[in-house]
Copies of this chain bind each other. A is one copy, B any other.
């Protein structure tokens, strides 16, 4: 059977070593990873199987992790991970959506094999794929183990990207640029929103002639007219009117590495007041960008943006950025760094951010979203997309 792995084995080894180092520091014997991006990061595993129970078991006393998934999905792990045969386990199908048998109990039995019965076990308590029932079933099956919160342990390791990862982030950024270009081309009065969405998605999945794209961790947003009051609406099948506003956020994805970028597209000429409003947002974004470099705290980036806004009598309290990397549904971000007033995390080379200081004012009746994804370099930042930071007007 073929193997499909997008990183060198040495890179996976290094990621695992860093994870184990952090486990040891926290006194964890075993780390149970239920979040798909973390499983992907440590093993390469990539299939849409996380809607049924699965778990990566990292034990300090074993060189290789063990992956447990649904039996029918075991071949995916054989193809997409470097793991040895004996470290890929499958639970029978009767566990799926069963009210009587818990797949988590099956997984607990595998945890016992690596000394889990009396271990200190880290779990991703706040993860999307670690439900209250998951926890209850594991605790019941391992009553003498000690469970500790290790949520985001791997996320904080993933935040600094390797050169190989940065290559994929840059490719994802190029796809995101192409998606924005396609959106601007297609956005015309009379075009159904769903046809606009379909064209943008087509670009996302097809990617570029040199490399293909993939699905994103959420959906591209198409906030049209009244729906631009909130930032997270999907499309409808109504035709675009002669004059409206579209806040669009697209997500380029290359081998699960994901780059977000937003633009506001005006169909029909905007008012001078609105144009001015957009200019303020872009001025704030550019001021924030000028502060971005290694050693700076996130709060300083936020302050630079706020200072511009204050000049114009505007206050924004929402975060204006977050870190990005491997994307799996439903998450839009890595759930680590946020660029906001009180965030003291210091920027380091290899971090990737989506700087997204969109403005939604007066219950969303005034909104604009021009954003910039970027990587932190040794001396400053490099943009991950090259689409100009302007309000797009289609007359």
Binding site for B on A (CB under 8 A): 1-2, 4, 46-51, 72-76, 78-79, 92-94, 96-97, 123, 125-136, 149, 151, 192-195, 197-199, 201-207, 211-215, 218-219, 221, 225-227, 229-237, 317-319, 322, 329-333, 335-336, 338, 340, 342, 360, 363-364
Min CB–CB distance A137 → chain B (angstroms) = 9
Is the CB–CB distance between B97 and A338 below 8 Å?
Answer: yes
Q: A1-B229, A75-B363, A97-B333 are in contact. Are A48 and B205 (CB under 8 A)?
A: no
Once bound together, how far apart are the Cα atoms of A215 and B231, in whole Å? 17
Q: Is the CB of B128 within 8 A of A128?
A: yes
Let me know if B319 and A93 touch, CB within 8 A: yes
B129 touching A72, Cβ below 8 Å: no
Q: Is the pair B129, A233 in contact by a Cβ cutoff of 8 Å? A: no
Which residues does chain B contribute within 8 Å of A360, judged by CB atoms? 72
* A335 contact set on B, CB distance < 8 A: 97
- Do A46 and B234 touch across chains, with their CB atoms under 8 A apart? yes
In contact, A195 and B201 (Cβ under 8 angstroms): no
Q: Is the CB of B218 within 8 A of A234?
A: no
Could you name 11 residue pairs across A and B whose Cβ atoms are closer than 8 Å? A1-B229, A47-B234, A48-B219, A48-B221, A51-B332, A94-B342, A97-B336, A97-B338, A125-B132, A194-B207, A194-B213
Q: Contacts A205-B194, A329-B330 given: A231-B97 contact, CB under 8 Å?
A: no
Q: Which of A127, A131, A132 has the largest count of B CB atoms less than 10 A from its CB?
A: A132
- Find out whether the CB atom of B48 lies under 8 angstroms from the CB atom of A79: no
Residues of B within 8 Å of A229, CB to CB, are 1, 75-76, 78-79
Q: Closest CB of chain B to A349's CB: distance in Å? A: 22
What residues of B have a CB within 8 angstroms of the CB of A235 in the complex? 205, 212, 214
Apart from A79-B227, A212-B236, 12 more pairs, CB < 8 Å: A51-B331, A75-B363, A75-B364, A97-B336, A97-B338, A194-B205, A194-B213, A201-B202, A207-B237, A211-B237, A329-B329, A330-B330
Distance in Å: Cβ of A86 to nearest Cβ of chain B = 15
Query: Which of B51, B128, B207 is close to A129, meaning CB atoms less than 8 Å apart?
Result: B128
Choose from B49, B72, B133, B226 the contact partner of A126 (Cβ within 8 Å). Answer: B133
Q: How far is the CB of A365 from chain B (nearest CB, A)?
A: 9
Cα of A143 to Cα of B199 in the assembled complex, Å:
51
Q: How far is the CB of A352 from chain B (nearest CB, A)?
A: 16
Chain B residue contacts of A151, Cβ below 8 A: 133
For A78, the chain B residues whose CB sits under 8 A away are 229
Q: In the bound complex, do residue A130 and residue B128 qualify as a contact, i.e. CB atoms below 8 Å apart?
A: no
How far does the alpha carbon of A305 sit from the alpha carbon of B235 in the complex, in Å? 40
Q: Are A131 and B130 in contact (CB under 8 A)?
A: yes
Instruction: Give the residue name and chain of the B residue nearest to A46 (CB).
Output: B234
